[in-house]
Amino acid sequence: MEIRPDKLGQLIAGCWAEAESSLAELIALKHPNPPEELITELLAGELRHSVAAASDGHKFEHAFLEDLEAQIPNLSVSDARRFGGLIASVAPHNKSHEGRVSAADLGILILRPQVWLNGWGNETIECSRDHATGLLAQAKLGHHKKRRKGYSWNTLQKKQEKLFPDRRAYYSLLLYRLKGKDLNEFDPLRWQLCHESKVEDLKKWLQSDLFPEEKTSSDILRMLFDGQIGTEDRETIQSVIAPPQGDPRVIEIRIFWPDGSGPPPSFHLEQQHHQQENVQRIYQ
């Protein structure tokens, strides 16, 4: 039985929401009418700051302990201590193969621990440190129409149209919207998943400014964290979404234990049938 990382997913979604709010303030105060590339860079920077602050405050450690305590019966204090020290970061990437391999200009990659309970009585824990889930995002910048409602969007490039059919299972549109007299009002980000769509659908959405099922960033991050969207295929992630060479921009959110710490790959739980101490308080 896999331990569901519910609290961890909520924390990541919260960090992203905080980054979006800070991004909107930056655009309002310092960067009117920003280009698409600058918006992406500012978003990554604000997310890096938000995740680092949460990590420094031990929020990732505490959230993971909450998930463990809620789903592992009679988790002992000593076993809980094995999972202490969990931290997180947003790694900077400077890579570029947009249009040539990915058909997108941004990869979202989440690396996190994955924990299972095994054995006849769920007495054994197994742990993988870098479970990966990735999603491609084609960022699109929409400008509010001055004389009509809605936004105007650029269409897909020819190379993106050609590569999209092979990528659509883990592909999305990331919608940036600017409005206001000076184009310094930034709407909350919205996402459109494309796994059931054709190139003609994407072109129609962008031309008409009508997207059938927009989702918030919180929805997308939780779904990606749980593996409901995107891809978990390691080869696809390494070759398309976050290759070692080449260049889509990649926002890599990594939740991990520093070298030399964290649980072993497998161990037996202590036979403890009562608990006097809340494991969350161990690291507070």
Query: Once rounded to an integer, what is the mean pLDDT over residues 94-100?
Result: 46
Dig out the tokens for 92 from the structure.
């900077």
What is the pLDDT, as a whole number, of residue 98? Answer: 44
Q: Is residue 276 part of a domain?
A: no
Query: Once rounded to an integer, what is the mean pLDDT over residues 219-244?
Result: 92
Q: Which amino acid is at 214?
A: E
47 neighbors 17 (Cβ within 8 angstroms): no
Query: Once rounded to an integer, what is the mean pLDDT over residues 92-100?
Result: 49
Among the listed ranges 3-7, 8-12, 54-58, 101-105, which one has the minimum average pLDDT value? Answer: 101-105
245 neighbors 103 (Cβ within 8 angstroms): no
How many distinct structural domains can be found in the chain? 1
Q: Is residue 1 part of a domain?
A: no
Bridge partners, residue 152, by sequence: 143
Q: What is the average pLDDT value for the chain, to the nearest integer?
A: 88
Q: Is residue 62 part of a domain?
A: yes
Which residues are within 8 A (CB) of 60 and not within 5 positions of it... i.e. 6 or more apart?
Answer: 8, 11, 54, 86, 87, 88, 255
What is the pLDDT, as a whole number, of residue 273? Answer: 47
Does position 19 have pLDDT exceeding 60, yes or no?
yes
What is the pLDDT, as a whole number, of residue 97? Answer: 41
Q: Is residue 274 part of a domain?
A: no
What is the pLDDT, as a whole number, of residue 99? Answer: 44
What is the pLDDT, as a whole number, of residue 247? Answer: 52
User: Which domain covers residue 158, as residue numbers?
Assistant: 6-269
What is the pLDDT, as a whole number, of residue 120? Answer: 66
Dig out the tokens for 104 from the structure.
């997108």
| Exposed e or buried b per residue across 41-76, where buried means at least 16 C-beta atoms within 10 angstroms of its C-beta | ebbbbbbbebbeebbeebbbbbbbbbbbbebbeebb
Query: Once rounded to an integer, what is the mean pLDDT over residues 173-196?
Result: 96
The candidate with the shortest Cα–Cα distance to 3, out of 114, 121, 131, 119, is 114
Does position 101 have pLDDT exceeding 80, yes or no?
no
Does position 246 have pLDDT exceeding 70, yes or no?
no
Q: Is residue 283 part of a domain?
A: no
Q: Is residue 281 part of a domain?
A: no
Q: E strand or H helix at 159, and its extent?
A: helix 158-167
Query: Once rounded to an integer, what is the mean pLDDT over residues 56-65?
Result: 97
Q: Is residue 279 part of a domain?
A: no
Global confidence as pTM: 0.89
What is the pLDDT, as a whole number, of residue 166? Answer: 92
Query: Once rounded to an integer, what is the mean pLDDT over residues 236-260?
Result: 84
Share of the chain above pLDDT 70, in %: 88
Q: Is residue 41 part of a domain?
A: yes
283 neighbors 133 (Cβ within 8 angstroms): no
